Amino acid sequence: MNKTLVIAEKPSVAQDIVRALTPVAGKFDKHDDHFENEHYIVTSAVGHLVEIAAPEQFDVKRGKWSFAHLPVLPPYFELKPIDKTKSRLNAVVRLAKRKDVARLINACDAGREGELIFRLIEQYAGGGKPLGKPVQRLWLQSMTPQAIRDGFEHLRSDEQMRGLADAARSRSEADWLVGINGTRAMTAFNSRDGGFFLTTVGRVQTPTLSIVVEREEKIRAHRPRDYWEIHASFLAEAGEYPGKWFDPAFKKPGGEDADPDLRADRLWDQREALAIVEAVRGKAASVTEERKPTTQACGLLYDLTSLQREANGRFGFSAKTTLQLAQSLYERHKALTYPRTDSRALPEDYLGTVKQTFEMLADSGMGHLAPHAQTALDNHYIRPSKRIFDNSKVSDHFAIIPTLQAPHGLSEAEQKLYDLVVRRFLAVFFPSAEFMVTTRISKVLNHHFKTEGKVLVKPGWMAVYGKEAAEDVEGAKDGDKGQNLVPVREGETVRTESVEAKGLKTRPPARYSEATLLGAMEGAGKLVDDDELREAMQEKGLGTPATRAAIIEGLLTEKYLLREGRELIPTAKAFQL
Instruction: Using CB atoms within 10 Å of the CB of residue 95, give its burial: 0 to 12 exposed, 13 to 18 middle, 19+ buried.
Output: buried
CA neighbours closer than 13 Å in the CB half-sphere of residue 139: 18
CA pair distance 486, 236, nearest whole angstrom? 8
**Please, which residues have CB within 8 angstroms of residue 220's CB and are 6 or more apart in sequence?**
none
Strand 135-137 to 433-444 pairing: unpaired
**Please, which residues have CB within 8 angstroms of residue 437's CB and are 6 or more apart in sequence?**
291, 292, 293, 294, 452, 453, 454, 455
Q: Write the single-letter amino acid at 347.
A: P
Which one from 338, 418, 512, 560 is the annotated catalytic residue?
A: 338
Q: What angle do CA 369, 372, 373 make, to 5 degrees?
A: 85
For residues 333 and 475, the answer to whether their CB atoms sit within 8 Å is no
CA pair distance 19, 8, nearest whole angstrom? 14
* CA distance to 154, 282, 495, per residue, from 443 (Å): 69, 13, 10
CA pair distance 545, 323, nearest whole angstrom? 9
For residues 290 and 438, the answer to whether their CB atoms sit within 8 Å is yes
Q: Is 338 a catalytic residue?
A: yes
CA pair distance 92, 45, nearest whole angstrom? 7
Closest CA to 198 of 208, 188, 209, 212: 188
Residue count (the chain): 577
Q: Which residues are catalytic?
A: 338
